[in-house]
Amino acid sequence: MHILVVEDEKKVAAFVRAGLEEQGFSVEVCHDGNTAAAIATTQAFDGIVMDIMLPGRDGLSIVRKLREGRNTVPVVLLTARGDLDERVEGLNLGADDYLAKPFSMTELIARLNAVLRRHNGGGLAMQSYSDLSLNLVSREVRRGETKIDLTPREFSLLECLLRRPGKVVTRVEISQTVWGHQFDAGTNFVDVAIQRLRRKVDDPFPRKLIQTVRGIGYALQTDT
């Protein structure tokens, strides 16, 4: 899942980003309210973690702008511990939850997963193609009845392909989505990661799903 983190304290932002990426989330970070408002209203995110006190626009005004534009993306606000009025106002404006600073990464992940579950109908967010299924909340992967154990990075890579089944996903897109940086044509880290993923998702099964599109990237499609 693609998460926007809005936090002007760069050490805190780096801490949150690292913790979310360890759990397999794809993370984009910005440090001021004006940039956050522009990004949040023009790009698609599965969730937003946002400080209230920001340079430029504050977090509450961004929540208001999102909800007035009928954008229902889940938002977890980060607040100062004593700011009860701001927490109440944020929830009334349409924020889904809040967390007072200082906070533990474990609690932030738990709260974020909770609002993501609620946003997806209170149940399990599923992605599937052929006999492959991904539970985006429990992070369980199956081919048919067989459970497949993936690392967080492998899960994110498979999710990247599964969000566009039957369509080519370029190495550049994979690099930006899964690793969060520009693709270097002189390296083969995407190809190596795909090979490892294939060993778990394709090799034990007769029908192969991860197809190479030579010179471009990869596509999730059946080989028959």
**Token pair of 107 as six digits:** 């609690």
State the average pLDDT over residues 37-64.
91
User: What is the distance of C-alpha 41 from the center of its chain?
Assistant: 17
Which spans in the chain are helix H?
10-22, 33-42, 59-68, 84-93, 105-119, 152-162, 171-174, 189-201
Strands of the 146-148 sheet, one edge to the other: 126-129, 132-135, 141-143, 146-148
Higher-scoring residue by pLDDT: 147, 178: 147
**Does the pLDDT at position 61 exceed 70?**
yes
- 219, two tokens: 């596509």
Which residues is 218 bridged to in the sheet? 169, 212
With b meaning 16 or more CB within 10 Å and e meaning fewer, what string describes 120-151? Answer: eeeeebeeebeebbbebbeebbebeeeebebe
Q: The pTM is what? A: 0.59
**Mean pLDDT for the chain overall:** 86
Q: Give the pLDDT mean for 27-41.
A: 93
- The CATH number of the structural domain formed by 2-119 is 3.40.50.2300
More confident residue, 86 or 122: 86
User: Does pLDDT of 18 surpass 50?
Assistant: yes
pLDDT of residue 179: 77
Fold of 126-220: Arc Repressor Mutant, subunit A (1.10.10)
**In the chain, where the domains are located:** 2-119, 126-220
- 124 pLDDT higher than 50: no
* pLDDT for 173: 83
> Mean pLDDT across the stretch 39-63?
91
Residue 123 scores a pLDDT above 60: no
The two tokens of residue 76 are 């977890």
Stretch 17-38: mean pLDDT: 90
Structure tokens at 200: 């778990």
Greater confidence (160 vs 210) lies with: 210
How sure is the predictor about 82, in pLDDT bands with cuts at 50, 70 and 90?
A: low
CB atoms within 10 A of CB 113: 17
pLDDT of residue 158: 92
pLDDT tens column, 168-205? 988 888 887 777 655 566 678 899 999 999 999 999 99
